[in-house]
Amino acid sequence: ELNWTSYHNYDVIYSWFDSLAELYPENVTTFVAGYSYLGAEIKGIRIQLRENATRVAVIDGGIHAREWISIATATYIANQFLTTTNSTIRAAAEEVIWYILPVLNPDGYNYTIYVDRMHRKNMQVNESVDCSGYSGGSGIGVDLNRNFAFYWMANGGASSYPCSVQYAGPYPFSAPESQAFRSFIGGISENLDLYLTLHSYSQLILFPYGHTTQPLDNYYEQYTIGRMAADAIESNSGRKYIVGNSAEAIYISTGGSDDWVKGTFGTRLVYTYEVRDTGTYGFLLPPDQIIDTAEEVLASIPVLVQQLIRLD
Ligand code: 0X9
Ligand code: ZN
């Protein structure tokens, strides 16, 4: 049994996944999407509660190392899908085949636990460049959310400078972690209807694209359903989440996993949630807010699933 009163490293999370697969052999399997730069597993859990479910959804977390709450939220959701007594959550969980990958950047996550709490990127060694005296980041790693091959480095908000926190890498999919995600998604993309990628912080529900404020083809659908998700969050906890296209609601940036999924596979609903808070604690969200944060995110999931069904 995992708990959500503290943050856990990926070893603990992965062993818990294994125990779930043993406990629920009919419904749960684990899988390894690929390996990190330092050779750690990028492990996920597949949950299928109803035999005839066909829709596929992916939830991930931990693309950015310091965004710990995204990891804890993803594991909390997996646990609730299996154990909830709430009929609305249960019904939504049953409709979909879920793939949940809480730690897309395991090396970076470990580094933030044991060395530098504010690290964002992966742990890839970059071409030798002196980052001392540069305050905008460290020389270690690539920003995985700038490394995906959709308008890669095309429009700003990403950097070709290895010291930058937004370093996009030398070429798209240069990072083993984004490669792993690419091959994993490639294998399940056919029935993929929902991609939810968890980040922090700012309390935003973002949707593609990051390179342009031009509305995407199903802008209205993504906006309206995002709005309904934000309303569900507000009813749950009173927290307000702002909904919008990434380029508008935060900033122009390219090479994100969300934009790559949308642009490559045309996945119907793609959202980046920037969860709590709005800056009081920022990335250092205290563990006593894990459950409330994860609960409000969970409360929005039935809305997304119900709308998917309605769209069929
Ligand atoms: O900049 C990012 O990668 C995300 N914000 S964060 O503070 N967690 O770093 C937002 C990504 C939104 N999606 C795209 N711009 N494609
Ligand atoms: Zn992030």
Atom 4 in ligand 1: which residue has the minimum CA distance? 199
Residue 33: the pLDDT is 98
Q: How confident is the model at residue 133 (pLDDT cuts 50, 70, 90)?
A: confident
Domain regions of the chain by residue span: 10-311
Dist. CA 145–CA 120, nearest whole Å: 10
pLDDT digits (tens, 9 = 90+) for 239-279: 999 999 999 999 999 999 999 999 999 999 999 999 999 99
Dist. CA 95–CA 80, nearest whole Å: 15
CA of 87 to the centre of ligand 1 (A): 33
CA of 186 to the centre of ligand 2 (A): 22
Tokens of 221: 């659908």
Residue 260: the pLDDT is 98
Question: What is the tally of helices (H) and strands (E) in the chain?
Answer: 9, 8
In this prediction, residues 90-98 reach a mean pLDDT of 98
Atom 12 in ligand 1: which residue has the minimum CA distance? 246
pLDDT digits (tens, 9 = 90+) for 208-249: 999 999 999 999 999 999 999 999 999 999 999 999 999 999
CA of 256 to the centre of ligand 1 (A): 7
Ligand 1, CB within 6 Å, residue ranges = 64, 67, 145, 199, 206, 210, 246, 250, 253, 256, 258-259, 272, 274
Contact 110, 221 (CB under 8 A): no
Residue 141: the pLDDT is 97
The Cα-based distances of 142 to 58, 66, 127, 249, 262 in angstroms read 23, 14, 11, 24, 22
Nearest Cα residue to 24 out of 47, 54, 1 = 47
Q: How many angstroms from the chain centroid is the CA of residue 2?
A: 20
The CATH number of the structural domain formed by 10-311 is 3.40.630.10
Residue 129: the pLDDT is 84
Residue 266, H or E segment: none
pLDDT digits (tens, 9 = 90+) for 44-84: 999 999 999 999 999 999 999 999 999 999 999 999 999 99
The Cα-based distances of 15 to 22, 44, 152 in angstroms read 11, 11, 35
Judge whether residue 137 has pLDDT over 80.
no
Give the dihedral sign, CA 255/261/267/269.
negative
Question: Of all atoms in ligand 1, which is nearest to the CA of residue 259?
Answer: 16
Question: Of all atoms in ligand 1, which is nearest to the CA of residue 209?
Answer: 16
Contact 187, 207 (CB under 8 A): no
Q: Exposed, middle or buried by CB within 10 Å (0-12, 13-18, 19+), for 228?
A: middle
Residue 46: the pLDDT is 98
Residue 262: the pLDDT is 98
Residue 128: the pLDDT is 78
Dist. CA 17–CA 149, nearest whole Å: 30
Residue 134: the pLDDT is 82
For 82-118, the DSSP string reads HH---HHHHHHHHHEEEEEES-S-HHHHHHHHHT-TT
Q: How confident is the model at residue 97 (pLDDT cuts 50, 70, 90)?
A: very high
Residues near 92 by Cβ (< 8 Å), separated by ≥ 6? 301, 302, 304, 305, 306
Q: How many angstroms from the chain centroid is the CA of residue 263?
A: 17
Dist. CA 49–CA 20, nearest whole Å: 13
In this prediction, residues 196-203 reach a mean pLDDT of 98
pTM score? 0.98
Residue 142: the pLDDT is 98
